[in-house]
Chain A
Amino acid sequence: MHDRRQTLSASLSLILEDAAFVFAELVEDEPEPFEGEVVEASLDYSGDRSGTMALRMTVHFALQVAEELMVSGDEDTLPEEIAGELLNIIAGHWVVEQFGERTRFHLTPPTAARRPGDALSPLPEDAAVLRTDDGDRVDLMVAA
């Protein structure tokens, strides 16, 4: 089994780049707090392995990704859709990277909600915090 933080970071940065055309790197030091409202998406994976994965980003960043993808929609729901779909892709990538390509698993549809940036639950120690080229913070974590 690979180091969880490294595999989370690798999956998150790869999918941000391939799916959202955003470049991001792992933050090694204590991360700066989120600025503004945050959208948090989560889903469960089950099967050979089980757990819950969550992705956090600012609402502003999610809307930027939507613009990059030329996807329009209601700003009241678009960040949640963006975060949820990115998480879905990341989870599919990460479970195989972490547990092997013969792993059988199922992903629940993602759910997403907004929270104030200063009202988030503490990050697990093995969470991956990435910072994009434009300075946006994106967190990925697993509870298993």
Chain B
Amino acid sequence: MSVEILLVDDSRITRTVQARMIRMLDLPIAAIHEASDGLEALLALDEHPGVSLVVCDLNMPNMDGESFVRELQRTDRGDLDVVILTSDRSVARTEALLDAGARAYITKPATPELLRDVLSQLLAAA
């Protein structure tokens, strides 16, 4: 079953590199959508209801990753798998995000192998 992924990051560079990396992972990807912050991501989820996996940065303008994850839990899309991909390596932040509802936490720069492992596990469990 092919999946739709939403990439959320305020850096165009990061979204470009991540999208390319994900496409090279030999996973059943139907489409990759992009958003530049949490607010755009919520709108993107309305526009693309087929999205089942979100890869999301933490530090973004307008709505950061933690706020996005918490807001998502208040909607009917709280079942979405959200992977946090961030430069923030602190344990405190990791714990807070996982408590808020994120399914996984990866620190940048993510290797293709780690991305594949995490995304494969989530897709297999879906």
Question: Do the two chains belong together in a single complex?
Answer: yes
Binding site for B on A (CB under 8 A): 15, 18-19, 66, 69-71, 73, 81-82, 84-85, 88-93, 95-96, 101-109
> In the docked arrangement, what's the CA distance between A31 and B118, Å?
42
Tell me which of B47-55, B73-81, B82-90 binds A: B82-90
User: Does A92 lie within 8 Å of B88, measured CB to CB?
Assistant: yes
Binding site for A on B (CB under 8 A): 10-14, 16-17, 20, 59-61, 86-93, 107-109, 111
**Quick one: which of B20, B87, B93 contacts A88, CB cutoff 8 A?**
B87
User: Does B59 lie within 8 Å of A106, measured CB to CB?
Assistant: yes
Contacts of B107 in A (CB 8 A): 92-93
User: Does B10 lie within 8 Å of A92, measured CB to CB?
Assistant: no
User: Does A89 lie within 8 Å of B109, measured CB to CB?
Assistant: yes
Q: In the assembled complex, how far is the CB of residue B10 from the closest CB belonging to chain A, in whole angstroms?
A: 6
User: Does B61 lie within 8 Å of A93, measured CB to CB?
Assistant: no
User: Does B59 lie within 8 Å of A81, measured CB to CB?
Assistant: no
Contacts of A95 in B (CB 8 A): 90
User: Does A15 lie within 8 Å of B90, measured CB to CB?
Assistant: no
User: Does A92 lie within 8 Å of B89, measured CB to CB?
Assistant: yes
Contact A69:B13 (CB < 8 A) given known A92-B107, A96-B89, A102-B90: yes
**Quick one: which of B13, B61, B90 contacts A71, CB cutoff 8 A?**
B13
Q: In the assembled complex, how far is the CB of residue A1 from the closest CB belonging to chain B, in whole angstroms?
A: 16
**Nearest chain-B residue to A19 (Cβ)?**
B109
User: Does A103 lie within 8 Å of B90, measured CB to CB?
Assistant: yes
User: Does B89 lie within 8 Å of A15, measured CB to CB?
Assistant: no
Contact A104:B90 (CB < 8 A) given known A15-B109, A109-B61: yes
